[in-house]
């Protein structure tokens, strides 16, 4: 072996194939052009006036050149460098082997660098070939496809680069004529371009095809070798072969010691009769027979676990455990569903008190938003003509005091009528005053009819939520 075989990743295998190609690059490039020679000669004879068709014919014939490159790479890996005579003898077989399948049916296959090795190196056909290809494509299928895309891109890029480099060495007048011809060319016909320009482009693409295909074939061969290493353990087999080669000189010595080791025990054993040896071995305590006896006293009535009814016992036991699990799951669900009733370490059966409303009908009823002396502040607003604000302050203050001090559960969505009903039920002592205040507020808010000054003074004077009135 001229390369280290070990399990590699797919792109490491590509690097291995490229390294093998670099080692014998000039020989491989010559083999490639040797394989291309028939197509190139025939194209120059029959397609001399059609450079683009000549390029297409050479591209179609390219698998023959790839096979000659693979032929050299495969032998070189195992320490044999084929001579040019051997390459020339392989040339006809590379041209006609499975011609219709490889050159027509599978010509555009992106897996060609890998499947070509199965055809040429293993010689498989039909079902065996298909099964082998499927096995190898289980690893690195995507890598081979990406490699095919890179080959197409690099061929185009390198062809343009070579063509642009050739343009740099043209005389100024010739370069100007070529540039003008390419600007006027509409892409409909190649006849309008100068022949020298067309042949320069074809030569650039041909050179790009040869370089990319030589290294692409090497990369595909590296993937093929790596797949066989993973699947068939080539590295292990070769390691054993190297070990056998190193130990080949010591075989006689090892065999001598083995024979001496086998004959020595026989000579010792011959001095003692077989019967005596058997008796001596059986006398060892390890061969002594021990017996133990168990007696069950007053056995109770029990199930026969190994009898015909054992399955019924197992069924009852399974149903019991299933019922117990269902009960436990139900209890856990009930506790979780009513977890709000737990308070601290104990259980409180009282109904949770909802949070006091801060806004009712869009009006802020929070205590901190109101003045301490609500009737006095409302009367001052009334005197300066701000009647709706004064009445709103008096009404908001009444609702706030009923919520905070009276314990009335007024919700944010309650209307004036809802608030009055709640006060009549939960704080009946303030129901009369709150009813008159509600009527006056609704007449002003919705009917735009303000109460008389005397009525406003009565409402402020009768305010039942002041500290003095609560103390009285």
* pLDDT, position 407: 78
The 8-class DSSP code of residue 452 comes to P
Listed in sequence order, the residues at least 6 apart from 89 whose beta carbon sits closer than 8 Å to its beta carbon are none
* pLDDT, position 204: 92
* pLDDT, position 30: 93
Give the pLDDT band of residue 385 (cuts 50, 70, 90).
confident
Which carries the bigger pLDDT value, residue 59 or residue 260?
A: 59
* pLDDT, position 347: 44
Handedness of CA 381, 383, 385, 390 (dihedral sign): positive
Which carries the bigger pLDDT value, residue 271 or residue 431?
A: 431
* pLDDT, position 246: 65
Q: Do residues 10 and 226 lie in contact, with contact meaning Cβ atoms separated by under 8 Å? A: yes
**How does pLDDT run across 94-149, given as a tens digit for each residue?**
888 777 777 877 788 888 888 888 887 777 777 887 788 777 777 657 788 888 89
* pLDDT, position 92: 86
Consecutive H or E run containing 360: strand 359-360
pLDDT at 254 over 90: no
* pLDDT, position 27: 92
* pLDDT, position 121: 79
pLDDT at 299 over 90: no
* pLDDT, position 217: 92
* pLDDT, position 214: 94
Distance, in Å, from the CA atom of 307 to the CA atom of 298, rounded to the nearest integer, reads 21
- Hey, what are 116's tokens? 């070509």
Most confident of the ranges 307-311, 314-318, 459-463: 459-463
Distance, in Å, from the CA atom of 113 to the CA atom of 277, rounded to the nearest integer, reads 69
Handedness of CA 148, 153, 156, 157 (dihedral sign): negative
Average pLDDT of 259-286? 65
* pLDDT, position 316: 72
Q: Do residues 227 and 181 lie in contact, with contact meaning Cβ atoms separated by under 8 Å? A: no
- The per-residue pLDDT of the chain, averaged, comes to 78
* pLDDT, position 69: 92
- Residue spans of alpha helices (H) in 24-140: 25-46, 51-60, 62-77, 84-96, 99-100, 112-122, 126-136
Distance, in Å, from the CA atom of 65 to the CA atom of 116, rounded to the nearest integer, reads 12
Give the pLDDT band of residue 349 (cuts 50, 70, 90).
very low
Which carries the bigger pLDDT value, residue 34 or residue 5?
A: 34
Consecutive H or E run containing 342: strand 342-343
pLDDT at 455 over 90: no
pLDDT at 305 over 50: no
Distance, in Å, from the CA atom of 14 to the CA atom of 142, rounded to the nearest integer, reads 13
* pLDDT, position 310: 56
Long-range (24+ apart) CB contacts under 8 A made by 315-322 are none
Query: Dihedral of the CA atoms 280, 283, 286, 287 (nearest 10)?
Result: 100
Which carries the bigger pLDDT value, residue 241 or residue 78?
A: 78
Give the pLDDT band of residue 272 (cuts 50, 70, 90).
low
Which carries the bigger pLDDT value, residue 333 or residue 379?
A: 379
Which carries the bigger pLDDT value, residue 62 or residue 266?
A: 62
pLDDT at 224 over 80: yes
Burial status of residue 159 (CB atoms within 10 A of its CB: 0-12, 13-18, 19 or more): buried
Average pLDDT of 50-76? 89
Average pLDDT of 415-429? 83
Consecutive H or E run containing 364: strand 363-364
| The overall pTM is greater than 0.85 | no
Distance, in Å, from the CA atom of 155 to the CA atom of 161, rounded to the nearest integer, reads 10
Which carries the bigger pLDDT value, residue 198 or residue 162?
A: 162
pLDDT at 323 over 60: yes
Q: Do residues 416 and 399 lie in contact, with contact meaning Cβ atoms separated by under 8 Å? A: no
**How does pLDDT run across 10-47, given as a tens digit for each residue?**
888 889 999 999 999 999 999 999 999 988 888 888 88
Q: Sketch the domain layout of the chain as residue ranges.
A: 10-232, 359-471
- Hey, what are 322's tokens? 């299933």
Give the pLDDT band of residue 468 (cuts 50, 70, 90).
very low
Which carries the bigger pLDDT value, residue 308 or residue 14?
A: 14
* pLDDT, position 239: 63
* pLDDT, position 301: 47
Q: Which segment of 137-151, 342-356, 397-411 scores lowest on mean pLDDT?
A: 342-356
Give the pLDDT band of residue 268 (cuts 50, 70, 90).
very low
Task: Report DSSP letters for 49-83, one per residue.
Answer: T-HHHHHHHHHHTHHHHHHHHHHHHHHHHTT----
Instruction: Give percent of the chain above pLDDT 90.
Output: 10
- What are residue 360's DSSP bridge partners? 363
Q: Which segment of 323-332, 354-363, 373-382 scores lowest on mean pLDDT?
A: 354-363
pLDDT at 153 over 80: yes
* pLDDT, position 453: 86
- Hey, what are 397's tokens? 């203050």
Give the pLDDT band of residue 388 (cuts 50, 70, 90).
confident
- Hey, what are 14's tokens? 């590509």
Distance, in Å, from the CA atom of 103 to the CA atom of 61, rounded to the nearest integer, reads 8
* pLDDT, position 140: 59
DSSP-based helix, strand, coil % in the chain, nearest 5: 70, 0, 25
The 8-class DSSP code of residue 47 comes to S
- Hey, what are 267's tokens? 């000579």
Give the pLDDT band of residue 434 (cuts 50, 70, 90).
confident
């Amino acid at each position: 072996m001229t390369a280290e075989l070990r399990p590699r990743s797919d792109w490491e295998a590509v690097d291995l194939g490229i390294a093998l190609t670099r080692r014998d690059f000039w020989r491989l490039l010559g083999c490639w052009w040797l394989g291309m020679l028939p197509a190139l000669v025939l194209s120059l004879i029959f397609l001399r006036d059609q450079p683009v068709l000549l390029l297409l014919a050479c591209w179609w014939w390219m698998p023959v050149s790839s096979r000659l490159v693979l032929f050299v790479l495969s032998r070189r890996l195992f320490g044999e460098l084929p001579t040019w005579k051997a390459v020339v003898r392989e040339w006809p077989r590379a041209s006609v082997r499975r011609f219709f399948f490889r050159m027509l049916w599978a010509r555009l296959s992106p897996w060609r660098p890998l499947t070509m090795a199965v055809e040429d190196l293993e010689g498989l056909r039909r079902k065996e070939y298909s099964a082998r290809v499927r096995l190898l494509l289980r690893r690195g299928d995507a890598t081979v496809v990406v490699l095919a895309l890179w080959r197409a891109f690099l061929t185009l890029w390198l062809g343009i680069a070579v063509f642009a480099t050739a343009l740099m060495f043209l005389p100024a007048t010739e370069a100007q004529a070529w540039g003008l011809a390419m600007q006027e060319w509409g892409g409909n016909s190649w006849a309008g371009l100068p022949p020298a320009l067309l042949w320069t482009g074809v030569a650039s693409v041909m050179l790009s095809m040869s370089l990319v295909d030589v290294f692409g074939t090497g990369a595909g061969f590296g993937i093929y070798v790596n797949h066989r290493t993973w699947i068939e353990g080539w590295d292990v087999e070769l390691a054993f072969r190297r070990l056998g080669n190193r130990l080949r000189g010591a075989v006689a010595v090892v065999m001598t010691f083995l024979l001496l080791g086998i004959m020595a025990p026989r000579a010792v054993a011959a001095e003692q009769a077989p019967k005596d040896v058997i008796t001596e071995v059986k006398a060892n305590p390890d061969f002594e027979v021990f017996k133990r006896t168990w007696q069950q006293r007053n056995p109770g009535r029990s199930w026969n676990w190994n009898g015909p009814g054992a399955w019924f016992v197992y069924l009852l036991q399974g149903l019991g455990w299933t019922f117990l699990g269902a009960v436990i799951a139900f209890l856990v669900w009930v506790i979780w569903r009513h977890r709000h009733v737990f308070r601290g370490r104990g259980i409180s059966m009282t109904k949770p008190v909802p949070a006091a409303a801060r806004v009712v009908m869009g009006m802020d009823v929070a205590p901190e938003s109101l003045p301490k002396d609500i009737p006095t502040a409302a009367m001052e607003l009334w005197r300066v003509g701000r009647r709706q604000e004064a009445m709103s302050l008096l009404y908001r203050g009444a609702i706030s005091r009923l919520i905070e001090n009276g314990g009335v559960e007024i919700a944010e969505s309650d209307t004036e009528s809802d608030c009055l009903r709640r006060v009549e039920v939960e704080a009946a002592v303030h129901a009369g005053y709150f009813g008159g205040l509600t009527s006056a507020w609704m007449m002003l808010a919705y009917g735009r009819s303000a109460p008389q000054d005397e009525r406003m003074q009565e409402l402020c004077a009768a305010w039942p939520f002041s500290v003095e009135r609560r103390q009285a």
